[in-house]
Chains A and B, each alone.
Chain A
Amino acid sequence: MTTLPQTTDKKLGLVIDLDTCVGCHACVVSCKGWNTENYGAPLSDQDAYGSDPTGTFLNRVHSFEVQPEEGPAQLIHFPKSCLHCEDAPCVTVCPTGASYKRQEDGIVLVNEDACIGCGLCAWACPYGAREMDAAAGVMKKCTLCVDRIYNENLPEEDRQPACVRTCPSGARHFGDLGDENSDVSKLVAERGGIDLMPEQGTKPVNKYLPPRPKDVEPEFDILAPYLEPVATDQKGFLGWLDKALEKI
C-alpha cells in the first residue's frame, strides 16, 4: 500500500558525519557489491568499459566546496543515499503499490515484482535517491541492507548496512533514530545533526553531522619576538632615500 504508516515502531536510518568523511567512495563500492549480489535485481552497468559508461548506484559521494566569509574554503565530502523519510513523497505517488514504507522499522522499500518502472517516485524524491535500473526496468533504491541487518546467518558485527560496515573513517553510523537513547540519537543531539532540504517537508530519518569548527592553533613560535618588523623611522642614507622617494 502506498499510504504511509501513521507512525513506525522504529526509525532505522543512517547518521553521516561530514567532518570525518574522507571521500574515499568505499561505501559506494561496497553498496554496489552487496546490492548487486543480493536483494532484488542486480545494479546493472551499461557500456561499463566503453566511452560512455553509466550504471545504477544506491549511494553516491558528492564533494562540495564551502567558502566562509573569512578564512580559507573548506572541502566537504558528501555521501548521499535514501534518507528513509517519515513523510516519503516517493511512496504516495506510486500507482501500483510497489513502493512502501515499513511500519515495523520505517525502511522505504520497492517490491520489484509490482514495479512498472514509470519513474514517478524518482521525480517525487528531492534527493535523487532512486535510480531506475536500465536493464531490469525497475526502480532501485537503498534498502538499508534489509538483507544484512536482520540476517542471522551473518556474524553479529556484520549485521549493519554494507556502507557502514566498510567505512574506514567511521563516518557512517546505523541505528534507531526513533529511540532517543540510541547511540545514533545521542550523536545527533550532541553534534547538532541536520536534515537535508527541510523545506521540502519530507522529514528525513537520516541525519547529517555538520563539520566541526576548525581548531585555532595557538602562536608559540619562539623566534617570533626576534623577527619583529624593523624600526620604521629610518636614519642615515636609507632614511633620506625613504623621504626622497615619498616626495616624488
Chain B
Amino acid sequence: MTTHDEIEARLLRAFELSPSEDGLRRLDQRVARAIAQPTPIPYRGGQTRRMILRPLLLLGAFVLLTGAVVGGARLLDQIFESSGAPGWRLAWDRAEQLDLTATDAGVTITLVRAYADLNQVLVGFTVEGLEPAPVSGSGSGASAPIEWRAALRDPSGRTEQEWASSRGGTHRDEPGLAAIVNTWEGSVTPMAGTWELIFTSVGYNSGGLVPGECNVGATDPQCVSPPPSAMVDGTWQFEFELPAPAGTLLSPNVSSTQGQATLTLTELRISPTMITSRIALRVADSAVADWWPASGWEPWVHSMSTRHDGTEHPGNSSSHVTQDPDAQGPDGDVFEFYTFAGVDEATGTWEIEISEITYRASELDTPEQRVQLSGPWTLTVTVP
C-alpha cells in the first residue's frame, strides 16, 4: 500500500524539473533587461503580444524533422493538408500562384503563393540554404525554430503594423529547407494592387545568447548588450499582385445591456476564410481591465454563439485589442473574436449571443476582484 508520504515524495520528484543552463540564462537575461529599464515597462498584455510577434518561436519547439527530403511546395501542401482550419485551407486553394525567388547571402527565399481577403493576408514561402537547425537546450531533441523578419506593405502603402491586429503561422523543416506559412490578420485594405514583402533576416537562432555567466546583476558589457544573433541578414524583396480582397466590413455599433453591463459590437468583418467580431464591454461604475465570454476565468468554455441565418459559426480564438486600459474608448474594453472558417455570402441576419461574462477590474487581479455576470446579451446585424 502506498503511503501518504510516499505519494508526496513521488509528486515532489515528478515536479523537480529545472530548466537547462541555456534556458535559465535566457530567463536571467530577460529579467535583467527588465530590471535595467529606467522605469518599469507598463504591462501591455505581453504574452499576447509575444504570441503574436513570435508565433514561430513557440511552434518551432514542437516540430519534428520528418527525414525524407521533399520539395518546399510539397512541405507547404503538407501544412495545409494537416490543418484543422477550413478557412486556412480555402485561402491556400484560392491563393495566387507566384513562385517568385530571391537569393542573398547564400539563402534563397521563394514566395510560392499569396492570398488576401478582408480578414487576413496569407503567404506561403520556402527558405533554402540555411545551416541545419541546432538542437534546443530543452533536452527534448526538438530543433530550434526558424525565425524571420520581414515587412509587408499593402497596395495603399500601409505597413502591416498599421492594419494587422495579429500574426500567425506555422512551418515545416527538413535539413536545408523550410516551408513557412504566415498570416497577417486585421483590416486589410479593400483594393486590388501591388503588395510588397521584404525579408531582412532569417535563421534558426535569434537569441543572441552569450556564453558564460550572465545572471541578474552581471555588468559585463556582453551580458548587458548581447552580441548579434546568428541570423542571416540580407534583403529578399518581392512585389506581387493580388485581386481585390473579398469580404464585407461593417461597423454596426449595436449594443445590448443587461444590468450594469453593456456589450457593443463595434466591427464585424465577414470574409470567405474567417469571421471577426470586435466586441467591447463597459460596466457602469466599474473599470474593466480584462473580460471573457464565459462563466469563470478558465479559457476552455465559451458562452458565445455566432449565427448567420441559423447556421452556427463557432468561435475559435480571440485577441485582446485594448490591452492598455487607458486606451479604451467610450464602449470599454475591446476583444476581437475569430472563427476558423468564413462564408462567401454575407447577406442575411447575423446574431452574436453571449450568455455569461467574467471580468476583472485590474490587470493584476485577485480572485475576489473577478465578477461574473449573466445575460444573455444579443447583438444583431442585418447585411442587406
Partners in one complex: no
Binding site for B on A (CB under 8 A): none
Binding site for A on B (CB under 8 A): none
